[in-house]
Amino acid sequence: MSEDKFTFTIKKIFTKDVSFESPKAPKIFEDMNITPKVGFNLNSDINKINDKAYEIMLDVNVKAETTDFVVYMAEVKQAGIFEIENATDEIRNRFLNINCLEILYPYARENIPNLVEKGGFPPLFLSPIDFASLYHQELLKRKEK
């Protein structure tokens, strides 16, 4: 008897949306001694395309602001199309919520700093993210409810 083997394929990686705003430019560049607080937000979305294909989108937002105004905002929606065949629900969920995000994040992690620098601001470095820990924390939260 022939067993179907689990397969995972990256079909396409792409940038779905990019945005950069600096509402106070060019006036903001007159005083570059400003030390803004930089906030970071991350969301993901899973869209089933067919029985084996999924679009995964990672939405990364960075906002730098002082107490008085927004210095800049950068957003990248990094996406990919992934195929998963012959997987249990557990394996499929792990790949969609961990592995696919681990594949997409480095692209967003490169795009955000490029936007910030091209906007005229000092380099911004985004730290690595442990998507496995985030996923397991979310599963624990759901169990407790």
Tell me: the pLDDT tens digits for 24-72? 999 988 876 778 899 989 999 999 999 999 999 999 999 999 888 999 9
Helix (H) or strand (E) holding 71: strand 70-85
Q: Does the domain spanning 7-144 belong to CATH 3.50.50.60?
A: no
What order of strands is seen across the sheet that includes strand 7-21?
A: 7-21, 70-85, 53-65, 37-48
Name beta bridge partners: 78: 15, 58
Q: How confident is the model at residue 98 (pLDDT cuts 50, 70, 90)?
A: very high
The Cα–Cα gap between 71 and 29 comes to 10
Torsion of CA 1, 83, 140, 130, to 10 degrees: 120
pLDDT for the residue numbered 3? 60
Burial of 136: CB neighbours in 10 Å, binned 0-12, 13-18, 19+: middle
The Cα–Cα gap between 14 and 26 comes to 31
pLDDT for the residue numbered 1? 40
